[in-house]
Structure 1
Amino acid sequence: MSPTDVAEVKLRYAAASDPITDDETFRLHLPTDAVRDGALVAKLSRPGVIRDALMTVADVLASDLRFKARDRADYLAYLIAQGKRVSNEVWDAQKAYLEEKFGGAEAKEESPLDPIVTVGEHGTSIEVFSTDESAYARLFLRSGDAYEAQQRTDGTTHLAIDDTLLRGIGRMRSYRASTLEFGPGPAGEGGSDGVSERDIRVPLRWLRAFGQVQAASTLPAREFELAPIDLYNVLLTLRMRRAKTSPRALRYELVPGETPRLVLEPWDQVIEGTGPAYRGATPVVVRTWGRRRLSTLARLLPHTKRVRVRLVGAGLPAYYILDLGDVELTLALSGWTDSGWAGIATFDLLVAGEVDELLARKVHDGLVAQPGGATLDELATSSERSVNEIRQVILHHMQRGTVVHDLASDRYIARSLLATPPDAETLRYRDEREQQAHRLLATKDAVRLTKVHDLGGEGTRIEGEVEDPEAHRTYKTSFTIDREGRTVDASCTSPQYRRSGLREGPTVPMIALRLMFARHQAELERARGTEAGRKLIRAETRVLVRRQAPRRATSDAPSSGGPAAANTGSITYRLSLDDREVVVRWGTHPLRMRMHRLRFSTPDDAREEYFGRLESLGEKGFIDASAAEMV
């Protein structure tokens, strides 16, 4: 698959119309794709909640946080009018304009899919995925509670959202008896007046990222509850303060038997949770990114009864499940704005391997026969297969976009993103370079880590060699991963890097080394569980944190972080093992830490000292926050 590969999708929509309304009633038509089945006429129980939920979904769909270069066309026109000489940029702009106006007349629009609407017996769901591949939302309206179905045609289709429809949704009021009509409309079947036909080209990389966000939800996760006011306090603080330095993360400190703590970086501002206590087995610290994207939930928080949070791990999506009673909204925020470097490493294990085609068809047919979906255990029991085999089959279907995971009920439901699902193999890799990197990883000893150096607050430096048997070349590559998971100071001896640096994205050796580093970290983490495995660890770094009891701000000394802020103190220990050396750093500020360097005669003595100090700090109440530091 190349970055330019696309899937051709044909859509036919009736024109959006204004709502039919008076003082007591409201009726709005939401145009859906006439090519696919799926229609509903629903009388709403709480129109105000549905209005805010639909507007939230539209906000997620429209979000695009990628960097956009400034449009300098007006400035260049001004320079030309003044008779001043300008660079070749003017000529390039003219060529681009002519190409867009005349040369591309036959070109088709390239864009992500429109919202996916699934109408079923148990309810109606609307799914959206942002253009920048960073946010996913699934809105579920429970039949009989959120609405009363007057007409229903089960199926999956697409919804056209434009400014006219959004204005109509915004006019919904809770005091009016409101009805929503999902369907192609009266003119949809005839295909004459009022119907627009559109052929769009959906990038396969977008479909792949959509499936990966779904696949990440199948991984084991730490789950806990927050009160809606806790998220409100986070959003309030972010509105009042703007971070000028990194890291810009939302950190969760989870201690069994205690309410979760939310820590806003880089200020280290603690917001004490007010929801139920965390029920996990071990204390842990998890850092998440993309906290400002939580602002899309602001309009729904007044209607929310509780918030469930699922944290899969560093660099992987964080899931927020809002329970509004008869409505549920699931928001997934990935750890990147554009799935480049992050997607390379974090989703290496989320691609389905070889699956039995007969089993895959059997599982899918079983889900189609159950409108309410099924759990992994139920599918394993009915198929007489192991849960791991069923999980691989589910990953296969998620990769193709034929199965969705309803996190609120932990059930898998059949629905197809496209009328003709793409082949799973075409979505296996992001592009050809990633495919070549996996080929190198499959070759024994072709990718070698030569040095992994912890830089403290600056991140981690990774160096390695990549041997390509087909090219008969050995490349040296290195890069630094900072505390926000971004790749900086990269270098490579490959022809692509020498030609254009990183303007064309990471090189094949860089991708291979990044994947190898992620696998190496996972192996080290698994090895820590056994005594024999510990002997294999010759170099690593662990971070441990102990949070002091919160000291609430008084009226005489108000907190600058907002009404929910608490003044807390914490001490951090950073222990590093490097062959025969143990380095201990500790302090209350990551940039002002004391250091103690210990040297030993043998690696075994250093390892014994290292693990002994870890156990001693654990007994003193320190929480292992290394997972929050990993990328």
Structure 2
Amino acid sequence: MKFNYKYSGTSSIVNGTSSTGVSFAPDILREPTYFVGSLDKKLPFREAISALHEVVVADFNFQPKDNSEYLAWLKNEETNWIAEASAELPKIKYEIRQLQGQLKGLREQREEITRPYYKSQKEYFKYIYTRDYAAWLVLDPVITVHPDQVFFECFSKDESVYGKLSCGLDVFNNINEFKCGTTNIDYSQKLYNEFQKIRTYKDTEFKIDPKGFDVQTSGEESYREVKIDLPDSWVRGFLQVSSAMTSDKVSFDLHPIDIANFIAVLKRNKEKKGPRAIKYILKPGQPILAVFEPWNIEVACLQSIYTGNEAKEIRVWGRRRIQLLERLLPITGKFTVHLLGTGMPSFYIAHLANDMYFTLGLSGWTANDWSQATQLDLLAPRGKVPATTMQSIYLELRKDWLNTEKGIATKLNLDVQTVKQSLETFTQAGKVIYDLKNEVYRVRELKREGIDLEELRFSSSTDKEAYQLMENGEVRNLKSEVQNDKIEVTAVVSNSFKTTVVINKDLQITDGKCNCNYYYMNKMTKGPCEHILATRISFDKK
């Protein structure tokens, strides 16, 4: 998917003896979005924006040892071993030695010719990596200005970590002007380095430059166009975050010392075998207990009492990504943790100074990024709402830029479920995001031209196969039964697979069963199989 940006100049920071000016260059191809004010909470902002940068450059994928030199040597020695295997033939051995001598001479000539090229190439990439890391990144951060806050969003390099920094208006002083909207900002490694120079004794002006949107008839050379062809997985990852945030969660608070203890355990120990999980043991009225496997190291969170009604044990993987929160520890009052279940995504919200908070979203596993195996978009309701109704709902949300589904339903005299389904559809289209902390929907258009949903309709082969099963009439004997606050749906798919789907009041899948091999291997940790999903879709159609 192609993204086109046009920046008026570049973002910059001007550091003086008594003041600092932070100026972001916005994308002028979007609707005018700007903000001008002075930072009040300087150090918390510096640390939080730096933590967001660490999310952008993070790559927790396994990095294998570089064996390229050994493999090259191995390839060169292959001819020698072949020659040794034929050593009983003196004539062939003599000819091989002659050819090896000629080959060695040719290789030396090749190395002599190509050595300057490869040396220059190595120095060039090293220069880019150390001096301008932005050239290695894919997407500039997304910044949104709302009536009550300004927030930044980004994804990690490996697409397994989502970061969001939200700054309420109390974080700023002397707000001169602002216009709500969403834009991309020009952000570079050099800009990050300049952020480190922000100090409490300096007045710091924060500006998403409104001059970038001025109509100019000259000076066009000052504009810089950037065209990026993003993989669908990157875009889909952004779209799935809100689906994860709206799912059922187990929530509790942790003291910063608890997160510090978690990080200390991870730094002092290195696992050589699995399982590599944190097991949260939650008992009502008792301190939260975290067990680090496979060492079974227990960390008792004595200042953090679980206030839930039911005892639970939940395992989460990819735990080393929690270290991204380390820089926030000195400025955090508490952490709110939201767990979606064993092997499912989790969210850690750091409550910073005043109305500033940092949201860290982690997929189920480090290698299980948002856009592939988690498939949380498959768990979202799939009901259809008339286009005119959806348009009315979106326009109502855009009036105030944020609202709840109940608030919109009351104003438009609509059913809450209809409003919620519409908002989730807009979320999938990249026009709306769900604010996990404040529990409201916010307008945030990820792409200026809009996103072609048909292009991203099937996030995986599972999704596509499920629709084909439903459309071909392969789902039979569909039955549903209401049990307490849940609906249990059963069916037979393709005359072979017996499925059971449990749906809650919000029409979200909370459990499922199937006798296929995919379910036997993964249960529900990687999303429903095509048979469970086909049953769910058929139930919605019915």
Q: Which TM-score band applies after superposition, normalised by the shorter structure?
A: 0.7 to 0.9
SS in 1 for 2:187: coil
Tell me which amino acid in the other structure corresponds to 1:20: V
Distance in 2 (CA, whole Å) between partners of 1:341 and 1:16 is 31
Given the alignment of the two structures, is residue 30 of structure 1 paired with residue 29 of structure 2, yes or no? no
**Which residue in the other structure is 2:255 paired with?**
227
Does structure 2 retain, via aligned residues, the 8 Å contact 1:311–1:318? yes
1:172 partnered with 2:179? no
Partner of 1:251: 279
- Equivalent residue for 1:363, pick from 383, 390, 393: 393
The match for 1:384 among 413, 422, 426 is 413
- Cα deviation for residue 448 of structure 1 reads 4.2
Q: Is the 8 A contact 1:348 1:515 kept in 2?
A: no
The answer on 1:19 being equivalent to 2:10 is no
Match of 2:334 in 1: 306
SS in 1 for 2:258: helix
In the superposition, relative to structure 1, how do residues 293 and 148 fare at CA in structure 2: closer, same or farther (>3 Å)? farther
Counterpart of 1:156 in structure 2 is 182
Residues 465, 530 of structure 2: 8 Å contact kept: no
2:95 is aligned to none
- From 409, 417, 434, the equivalent of 1:405 is 434
Specify which of 31, 35, 43 is matched with residue 40 of structure 1. Answer: 35
Q: How many Å apart are 1:390 and its aligned residue? A: 2.3
> Is residue 429–residue 435 contact of structure 1 (8 Å, CA) maintained in 2?
yes
Write out per-residue CA displacement over residues 464-513 of structure 1, whole angstroms, 9 at most, x where no aligned residue: 66xxxxxxxxxxx6687479968xxxxxxxxxxxxxxxxxxxxxxxx98x
Residue among 31, 51, 55 paired with 1:56: 51
Q: Deviations over 1:545-577 (max 9, x none)?
A: xxxxxxxxxxxxxxxxxxxxxxxxxxxxxxxxx
For the structure 1 residues 347 and 248, does the alpha-carbon distance in structure 2 shift closer, same or farther, using more than 3 Å as the test?
Answer: farther
Q: Deviations over 1:118-149 (max 9, x none)?
A: 11221211111223321112111111334442
Match of 1:59, SS state, is helix
In 2, the alpha carbon distance for the partners of 1:463 and 1:254 equals 29
User: 2:59, 2:311 → 1: CA distance?
Assistant: 35
Unaligned runs of 5+ in 2: 77-101, 112-117, 122-134, 476-492, 500-512, 537-542
SS at match of 1:172: coil
**Cα distance in 2 for residues equivalent to 1:282 and 1:309:** 17
Q: Which residue of 2 aligns with 1:423?
A: 452
Indicate how the Cα distance of structure 1 residues 363 and 315 shifts in structure 2: closer, same or farther if over 3 A, else same. Answer: farther
Name structure 1 gaps, 5 residues minimum: 1-5, 91-96, 101-108, 452-461, 466-476, 487-510, 522-631
**Retained in 2: the 8 A contact 1:13–1:32?**
yes
Aligned AA for 2:59? Answer: D
CA contact (8 A) 1:213 1:317 kept: no
Question: Is residue 233–residue 372 contact of structure 2 (8 Å, CA) maintained in 1?
Answer: no
Match of 1:548 in 2: none
TM-score for the superposition, normalised by structure 1:
0.64
Q: Secondary structure at the match of 1:233?
A: helix
Task: Flag the 1:344–1:300 CA change in 2: closer, same or farther, 3 A.
Answer: closer
- Residues 351-383 of structure 1: CA deviation (Å, up to 9, x unaligned): 633232222212211111113x11222223223
Return closer, same or farther for 1:82/1:60 CA change in 2, 3 Å cut-off: farther
Q: Distance in 2 between matches of 1:294 and 1:447?
A: 45
Q: 1:262: Cα distance to partner?
A: 1.7
Offset, 1:206: 2.2
> Pairwise mapping of residues 583-602 of structure 1 onto structure 2 (< 5 A)?
none
| Structure-2 change in CA distance of 1:187 and 1:342 (3 Å) | closer
Task: Please report how far the alpha carbon of residue 75 of structure 1 lies from its aligned counterpart in structure 2 after TM superposition.
Answer: 7.4
* Structure 2 Cα separation of the partners of residues 382 and 293 of structure 1: 42
Question: Higher helix fraction: Structure 1 or Structure 2?
Answer: 2
Q: Distance in 2 between matches of 1:447 and 1:421?
A: 41
Greater shift, 212-221 or 434-443, is seen at 434-443
| DSSP-derived class of the 2:171 partner | coil
After TM superposition, the structure 1 = structure 2 runs for residues 511-530 of structure 1, keeping only pairs within 5 Å, are 514-516=529-531
Match of 1:557 in 2: none
Partner of 2:91: none
> Counterpart of 1:426 in 2: which secondary structure?
coil
Aligned 8 A contact 1:211 1:400 in 2? yes
Question: 2: CA distance between counterparts of 1:20 and 1:345?
Answer: 44
| Inter-CA distance 13–324: structure 2 relative to 1 (3 Å threshold) | same
Q: Which amino acid aligns with 1:151?
A: E
Report deviation, 1:50: 0.7
Superposed displacement of residue 344, structure 1? 5.7
**Within 5 Å, which residues of 2 pair with 1:513-592?**
514-516=529-531
Distance in 1 (alpha carbons) for counterparts of 2:146 and 2:425: 23
Letter in 2 for 1:227: H
Post-superposition offset of 1:59: 1.2
- C-alpha change, 1:274 and 1:447, in structure 2 (3 Å) is farther
- When normalised by structure 2's length, the TM-score is 0.73
Distance 1:237 1:484, change over 3 A: farther
Within 5 A, what are the aligned runs for 1:405-554?
A: 405-431=434-460, 434-440=463-469, 443-444=474-475, 445-446=493-494, 448-449=496-497, 481=521, 514-516=529-531
**Cα deviation 1:599-631 (Å, max 9, x = unaligned):** xxxxxxxxxxxxxxxxxxxxxxxxxxxxxxxxx
In the aligned structure 1, how far is the partner of 2:227 from the partner of 2:210? Answer: 17
SS at match of 2:251: strand
Instruction: Give per-residue Cα distances to partners, 1:324-352, cap 9 Å, x unaligned.
Output: 13211111111133448963655422263
Counterpart contact for 1:252–1:286, Cα < 8 Å: yes
* SS of 1:343 mapped into structure 2: coil
The structure 1 residue matched to 2:160, chosen from 111, 131, 134, is: 134
Between 1:320-329 and 1:375-384, the stretch displaced more is 375-384
SS state at 1:41 partner = strand
Going from structure 1 to structure 2, the CA distance change for 1:432 and 1:342 (only over 3 Å counts) comes to: closer
User: Residues 227 and 274 of structure 1 are in contact (CA less than 8 Å); yes or no, is this contact kept in structure 2?
Assistant: no
Pick the aligned partner of 1:350 from 371, 380, 383.
380
Distance 1:193 1:341 in 2: 38
Segment of structure 1 superposing worse, 309-318 or 396-405: 309-318
**Closer, same or farther: CA 275–180 of 1 in aligned 2, 3 Å:** same
Partners of 2:173 and 2:319 lie apart in 1 by: 32
Distance in 2, Cα, partners of 1:258 & 1:188: 59
Q: Secondary structure at the match of 1:348?
A: helix
CA distance in 2, matches of 1:252, 1:11: 44
Q: Mean alpha-carbon deviation: is it higher for 122-131 or for 225-234? A: 122-131
Q: Which amino acid aligns with 2:53?
A: A
Aligned-residue sequence identity (percent) comes to 26
Residue 291 (structure 2) pairs with residue 297 (structure 1): no
Q: Secondary structure at the match of 1:367?
A: helix
Q: 1:270 aligns with which of 255, 276, 298?
A: 298
Tell me the CA shift for residue 85 of structure 1: 11
Contact 1:315 1:346 in 2 (8 A): no
Mapped pair 1:395 → 2:424: yes
- Report 1 or 2 for greater relative contact order, CA contacts < 8 Å, sequence distance ≥ 6: 2
Q: CA 1:285–1:114 in 2, change beyond 3 Å: closer, same or farther?
A: same
The code of the aligned residue for 1:300 comes to L
The residue type equivalent to 1:427 in the other structure is L
- RMSD over aligned CA atoms reads 3.7
Structure-1 residue corresponding to 2:357: 328
Change (3 A) 1:45 1:169: same
Q: Secondary structure at the match of 1:144?
A: helix
Contact kept in structure 2, 1:217 and 1:405, CA below 8 Å: yes
Kindly provide the amino acid, as one letter, of the partner of residue 355 in structure 1: V
